[in-house]
C-alpha cells in the first residue's frame, strides 16, 4: 500500500557519516555577538548554538546542521567527490577554493545526501556559509540538481538548508546558470508531486534566494536570518532612504507573506518531522488522495 | 556607469575612425570648392579608414562591447517587436498587484504565426526611461511575464523573450513583494512549459533579473550584448574595491557573446551591423528575425514532452567541475 511507503523505508540501511559528530567549537567560551552573553561552548552546542539569553542563532556548519537534524548516524552522503575547477581562470579563485577546503574540511559549499528524521527518509542538502560564503558555482548547482534527481527517483521528500551569499562571481555566467539548473530540476520534482521543504538560514541572499530556496512547498526560516534578493548597500544607494530596522530579516519576510513560518532551531527538527509525517500517509506524495483506512 | 557617449553617439574608442571620416568629408568638400583633384589622396584615406574600422570593430574589448550594449541609441525591445513582428497586441498586468512597464509583452505574428513575445523595455527618452525604471523590473513585471507565458502555454503558442536589463530592481518594495520568489518561480515554470521558448539577449543581460525571462530551449545573443552574474562595476568593487576597474572585471568575468558560446551557455551569436545595432536597427531586426525563424522551425517539429526534456537537458549540462563520473 502507498501509505506504507515510508514505514517500509524506515528499515533501509544507512551509513553513518564520519563527519557528522566530529566538529567541536574551538574555544571553551563563546560570546554572543548580539547580547554579549558569554557561554560555555559545550552548553551552547547543547542548545544547538542558540544563545540562551537572547535567542541569537549562531551559524551552523554543514556537518553540525546534519548532526542536529537527522536521526543519529543516519546520513549517507551523495557526490562527495565533486570539486570545483576554475573554468574562467579567474584571479585567485583556485587558491581561495584551496584555502576554504582546508579551513572547512569540506570539498564545496554544500553537502547532500539522504538520511532519516524521526524515521522518515528524506533527501537533504545543507549549505555551509564558511565555504566561499556559501556561494553557488557549478559544483553547488550540480550537487543540488543531483539531490533533486534522487528525490524524484526515490520519491523521498527533499529538504534543503540554504546559507549563501548568492551566485559565485568567480565562475561568472556558469554560476548564474546554476539558478536555472536547480530550478529546472525542482520543476520536475514539482511535477512529480514530491514534497520540497526549503529551510532558509542566515544568510540566504542573491541568486540562491532567487532560485531553489524560494521554491519550497513549505518555506521555513530561522529567526533573525538575513534573507533577500538585493544587498542592503545596493538598495540604500538606489532608493536613498532609510531602510526599516527589520528589513530582509526572516520576520520581515513572514510579515510580507514570503515565508510559511519562522521556527527557532530548537524546534526545527520536530517541525520537519511533523511536516514529513503529514505528507507520509498517502498525502500527496504519490499524487493520490489518502485512501480510507 | 562608465564613460559617456561623445557627441553624435560615438563612443570614445571610435574617435580615430570618426576623426578620419571627418577628414575625408572635409577633403571632398575642399576638392569641390577649389576644383583640385585629390581623388588619389581620398582613396588612400578611405582605404585607411576601412582598415581602421576593421581593426577597431574587429578587436573590441569586452568593456567596449559593454559600452555598445549600453549605448543610449541602442534599439530596445519595442523597436525589435515593431520591426520583426506584425499585429502586435500588448497585454498588461500581473492580475495580482499592477502593471510593470519595465517588461512589455503580448501576442504578435512572426511570419504569420501567432507567438507570445515578452521583453525588458528600457525606454526611449528620459521621461519614458524613468517611467520604465530603465528596464529594471519589480516582481509584478516578472509575474506579468509569467502570466503571459502561461497563456502562451495554454494556447500552444511559442514564446520569444528579449533580454535587456541591468538587473532586477533593488528596492524596499521589490523585496516586500518577493523579488526573489518572482524570479525563482519564473525559472521553475519556464522549465516546464510544453511550447518552444527562444530567448535573445539583445543588450544587457544583468544577472537574475535577466535570467528570470531567460530559461529557453535556445539562447541567442547579439554580437555585442553581454550576460553576466554581476555587473563589471559590481565585480570590480568587490575584487579591487574600486568600480573604475570595471574594464578589468569585464575581461575576468567572460561576459561576451563569444565567451558564452564557448562556455556552452549560448547557442548562436547574431552578428551586428558595423559599430553596433544602433547604427542600423532595421538591418539588425532583419538578422534577428532570420535567426529566430531558423531556431524556431526545428523546435516547432517537437512535441511538448520533448521540448520540456530538451530544456531540462540544456540546463543540466551547464557547469564545469571535477569528479562525479
Ligand atoms: Zn545572546
Render pLDDT for A14-37 as a digit per residue (tens, 0 to 9): 444 545 444 444 578 999 999 999
| Per-residue pLDDT at A209 exceeds 80 | yes
- Distance, CA A260 to ligand 1 centroid (Å)? 25
Among candidate residues B177, B167, B153, the one with its CA nearest the CA of residue B229: B167
Which residues are registered as beta bridge partners of B226?
B204, B256
| The predicted structure's pLDDT at residue A126 | 98
Residue in the structure block whose three cell numbers are 555598445 = B68
Distance from CA of A192 to the nearest CA of B (A): 12
Q: How many beta-carbon contacts under 8 Å exist across A and B?
A: 195
User: Which of A88, A173, A248 should one mutate to test binding to chain B, selecting the residue with the greatest count of B CBs within 10 A?
Assistant: A173
pLDDT category of residue A3 using cuts at 50, 70 and 90: very low
- How far apart are the two ends of chain A, measured CA to CA in Å? 11
Residues of A in contact with B316 (CB under 8 A): 145, 181, 184-185
How far is the CA of A273 from the CAs of A71, A73, A118, A157, A277, in angstroms? 10, 17, 6, 11, 6
For residue B24, give the 3-state DSSP assignment.
helix
* Cell numbers placing A188: 520536475
pLDDT (average), residues A59-88? 96
pLDDT at A22: 47
Cα–Cα dist B16/A228, whole Å: 46
pLDDT at A187 over 60: yes
Series of mean pLDDT values for 10-residue runs along chain B (325 residues): 56 93 91 86 92 93 97 97 98 98 98 98 96 98 98 98 98 97 98 98 98 98 98 90 89 97 98 96 98 98 98 98 91
Nearest-Cα distance to chain A for B188, in Å, is: 5
Contact B321 A139 (CB under 8 A): yes
The partner residues of B200 in beta bridges, in order of sequence, read: B162, B220
Q: How far is B263 from chain A (nearest CA, A)?
A: 8
Cβ contact (<8 Å) for B183 and A229? yes
Provide the whole-model pTM.
Answer: 0.93
Cβ-contact B270, B323 below 8 angstroms? no
> Predicted confidence band at A246 (pLDDT cuts at 50, 70, 90)?
very high
Q: How far apart are CA A221 and CA B303, in angstroms?
A: 40
Indicate yes or no: CB of A83 within 8 angstroms of CB of B323.
yes
pLDDT of residue B9: 81
**In chain B, what residues touch A146 (CB-CB under 8 Å)?**
324
Q: Report the C-alpha gap between A159 and B18 in whole angstroms.
A: 60
All residues of chain B having their beta carbon less than 8 Å from the beta carbon of residue A256 are: 175-178
Closest approach of chain A CAs to the CA of B14, in angstroms? 28
At residue B30, the pLDDT reads: 87
Which letter, b or e, does each residue of A213-222 get, where b requires 16 or more Cβ atoms within 10 Å of its Cβ? bbbbbbbbbb
Nearest residue of chain A to residue B238 (CA atoms): A169
**Which position has the grid cell 584555502?**
A99
Asked if the Cβ–Cβ distance from A142 to B319 is below 8 Å, we say yes
Question: What is the pLDDT at residue A26?
Answer: 56
Instruction: Identify which has the larger pLDDT, A290 or A30.
Output: A30
CA distance A282 to chain B (A): 25
ipTM: 0.95
| Helix or strand run (H / E) with residue B220 | strand B218-222
All 3 cell numbers of residue A235? 538598495
Nearest CA-CA partner of A165 in B244, B276, B234, B65: B234
Cβ atoms of A170 and A116 closer than 8 Å: no
How far is the centre of ligand 1, averaged over its atoms, from the C-alpha of A43 (Å)? Answer: 13
Supply the angle between the helices B62-69 and B232-240 in degrees, to the nearest 10: 140
Cα angle B312, B315, B321 (rounded to 5 degrees) comes to: 130
Report the pLDDT value the prediction gives residue A281, as an integer from 0 to 100: 63
Helical H segments across A221-284, by residue range:
232-239, 250-255, 265-278
**Residue with grid cell 574555544, as numbered in its chain:** A27
| Spatial contact of A203 and A169, defined as CB atoms under 8 Å apart | no
What's the pLDDT at B279? Answer: 95
Cβ–Cβ of B171/A167 closer than 8 Å?
Answer: no
Phi, psi torsion values for A68, nearest 5 degrees: -90, -5
3-class secondary structure, B173? helix
Cβ–Cβ of A238/B169 closer than 8 Å? yes
Amino acid at each position: 500500500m502507498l501509505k506504507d511507503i515510508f514505514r517500509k523505508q524506515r528499515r533501509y540501511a544507512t551509513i553513518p557519516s564520519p563527519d557528522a559528530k566530529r566538529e567541536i567549537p574551538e574555544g571553551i567560551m563563546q560570546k554572543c555577538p548580539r547580547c554579549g552573553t558569554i557561554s560555555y561552548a559545550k552548553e551552547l552546542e547543547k542548545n544547538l548554538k542558540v544563545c540562551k539569553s537572547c535567542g541569537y542563532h549562531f551559524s551552523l556548519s554543514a556537518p553540525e546542521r546534519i548532526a542536529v537534524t537527522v536521526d543519529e548516524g543516519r546520513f549517507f552522503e551523495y557526490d562527495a567527490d565533486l570539486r570545483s575547477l576554475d573554468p574562467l581562470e579567474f584571479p585567485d579563485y583556485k587558491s581561495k577554493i584551496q584555502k576554504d577546503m582546508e579551513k572547512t574540511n569540506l570539498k564545496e559549499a554544500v553537502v547532500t545526501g539522504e538520511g532519516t528524521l524521526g524515521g522518515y527518509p528524506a533527501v537533504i542538502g545543507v549549505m555551509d556559509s564558511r565555504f566561499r560564503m556559501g556561494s553557488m558555482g557549478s559544483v553547488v548547482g550540480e550537487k543540488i540538481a543531483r539531490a533533486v534527481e534522487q528525490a524524484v527517483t526515490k520519491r523521498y521528500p527533499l529538504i534543503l538548508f540554504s546559507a549563501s551569499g548568492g551566485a559565485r562571481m568567480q565562475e561568472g555566467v556558469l554560476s548564474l546558470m546554476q539558478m536555472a539548473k536547480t530550478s529546472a530540476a525542482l520543476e520536475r520534482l514539482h511535477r512529480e508531486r514530491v514534497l520540497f521543504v526549503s529551510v532558509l538560514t542566515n544568510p540566504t541572499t542573491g541568486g540562491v534566494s532567487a532560485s531553489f530556496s524560494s521554491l519550497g512547498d513549505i518555506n521555513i526560516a530561522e529567526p533573525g536570518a538575513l534573507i533577500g534578493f538585493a544587498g542592503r548597500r545596493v538598495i540604500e544607494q538606489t532608493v536613498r532612504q532609510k531602510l526599516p530596522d527589520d528589513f530582509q530579516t526572516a520576520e520581515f519576510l513572514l510579515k510580507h507573506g514570503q515565508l510559511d513560518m519562522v521556527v527557532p532551531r530548537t524546534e526545527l527538527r520536530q517541525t520537519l518531522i511533523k511536516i514529513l509525517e503529514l505528507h507520509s500517509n498517502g498525502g500527496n506524495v504519490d499524487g493520490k488522495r489518502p485512501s480510507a483506512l | 556607469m562608465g564613460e559617456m557617449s561623445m557627441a553624435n553617439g560615438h563612443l570614445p574608442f571610435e574617435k580615430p575612425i570618426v576623426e578620419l571620416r571627418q577628414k575625408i568629408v572635409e577633403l571632398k568638400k575642399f576638392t569641390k570648392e577649389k576644383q583640385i583633384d585629390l581623388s588619389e589622396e581620398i582613396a588612400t584615406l578611405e582605404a585607411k579608414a576601412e582598415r581602421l574600422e576593421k581593426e577597431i570593430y574587429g578587436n573590441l574589448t569586452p568593456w567596449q562591447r559593454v559600452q555598445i550594449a549600453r549605448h543610449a541609441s541602442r534599439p530596445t525591445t519595442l523597436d525589435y517587436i515593431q520591426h520583426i513582428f506584425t499585429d502586435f497586441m500588448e497585454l498588461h498586468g500581473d492580475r495580482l498587484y499592477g502593471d510593470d512597464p519595465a517588461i512589455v509583452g503580448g501576442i504578435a505574428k512572426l511570419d504569420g504565426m501567432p507567438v507570445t513575445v515578452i521583453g525588458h523595455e528600457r525606454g526611449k527618452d528620459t521621461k519614458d526611461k524613468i517611467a520604465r525604471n530603465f528596464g529594471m523590473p519589480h516582481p509584478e513585471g516578472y509575474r506579468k511575464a509569467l502570466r503571459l507565458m502561461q497563456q502562451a502555454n495554454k494556447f500552444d503558442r511559442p514564446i520569444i523573450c528579449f533580454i535587456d536589463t541591468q538587473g532586477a530592481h533593488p528596492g524596499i518594495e521589490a523585496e516586500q513583494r518577493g523579488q526573489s520568489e518572482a524570479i525563482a518561480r519564473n525559472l521553475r515554470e519556464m522549465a516546464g512549459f510544453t511550447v518552444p521558448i527562444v530567448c535573445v539577449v539583445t543588450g544587457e543581460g544583468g544577472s537574475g533579473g535577466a535570467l528570470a525571462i531567460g530559461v529557453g530551449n535556445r539562447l541567442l545573443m547579439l554580437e555585442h550584448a553581454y550576460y553576466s552574474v554581476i555587473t563589471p562595476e559590481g565585480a570590480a568593487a568587490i575584487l579591487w574595491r574600486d568600480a573604475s576597474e570595471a574594464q578589468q572585471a569585464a575581461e575576468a568575468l567572460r561576459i561576451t557573446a563569444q565567451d558564452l558560446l564557448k562556455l556552452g551557455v549560448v547557442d548562436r551569436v547574431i552578428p551586428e551591423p558595423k559599430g553596433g545595432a544602433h547604427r542600423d536597427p532595421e538591418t539588425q531586426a532583419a538578422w534577428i528575425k532570420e535567426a529566430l525563424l531558423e531556431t524556431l522551425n526545428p523546435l516547432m517539429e517537437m512535441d511538448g514532452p520533448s521540448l520540456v526534456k530538451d530544456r531540462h537537458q540544456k540546463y543540466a549540462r551547464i557547469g564545469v567541475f571535477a569528479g562525479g563520473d
